[in-house]
Amino acid sequence: MATEPDSKKHQTYRHALLMFSKPPVPGLVKTRLTQAAGGIFSEEEAAELFHRSLFDVMELCINAVEQLEAEDEDAAAADPSAPRHEYGFFISTTPAKNLDIMRELFTKSGEWPREFTYILDSGSTFDEHFDDAFKQVFAAGYDSVLSVGGDIPLLPLSHITNGFRWLQYFLTHSEKGGMVQAPCQECGVSLIGWTRNAPIDHQGVYYSMTGRPALDAYVQKCSEQDLPMASLSPVADVDNVQDLAHAISLARSARYTQRFQSDFYVPQRFLQWVDWRGLKVGTPPNEDRDSRDGIDT
């Protein structure tokens, strides 16, 4: 078999999308949305909402990777020596019984356009579980990991494409690699990822005894190592009723906007359930006819 001339050889990088999530089991997920915690749903309803959001997020990630692969094909056609990029999908959860539940959940939902590798993360703290999942993916031969959770139905598709683009950039332009993150609404992150060679981990980020927020912890870790970090715009996850109201308004806005911006992703499963339940978002009546006339409170 003829070999590719040296001038045409290319470097191939492997990138992983990691869904780090619990399965949608009643009483296990979105408990702050339940009536027992002052919310509006039963445990079963909260789990169903999360189930739909989880599938919406995974579909969005697949669509984003397909866009990146199409761009990669165009780049290769224009320059056969250009770096190539391959993508894999991992779903990580714990304990072992939940891994089986998650696998069955996706298998029974029908055929997905991608194969998922299911992994069991372990540890005594959230930080250790997160580190273990990253280590397993890197051990499988991947050069970067981009991780999201299942409770961010309004995650922009561009966050996945730009997240991977930043990781690709760091792989080729930084000896230390780099990290990319998108903040959430509560000083944490909705998306996090880094390259294989990045000198960073999750230790002390979520299991913090000092009260330091997760985002601040990541920034401090990067600054101590002088590690490049890219920041994407904030994305709210859905933890409580206020978050849910925000997400519903944004999702309905996205559904209308898609008529005019075809690349706007709409979390259809999430919205269908919200509409079926007849959920409405309201705010207190505004009795101040003109706040510019006095003190803005």
Mean pLDDT over 197-210 rounds to 93
Q: Which numeric CATH code is attached to 12-280?
A: 3.90.550.10
List Cβ neighbours of 29 (8 Å cut-off, separation of 6 or more).
22, 23, 46, 47, 50, 151
- The pLDDT of 90-114, averaged and rounded, is 96
Q: What is the DSSP string of 162-189?
A: HHHHHHHHHHHH-TT--EEEEE-TTSSE
Domain spans, the chain: 12-280
pTM value is 0.93
Q: Tell me which of 24-33, 171-180, 204-213 is least confident.
A: 204-213
* Residue 4 clears pLDDT 70, i.e. is over it: no
> Taking 50 as the threshold, does the pLDDT of residue 7 lie above it?
no
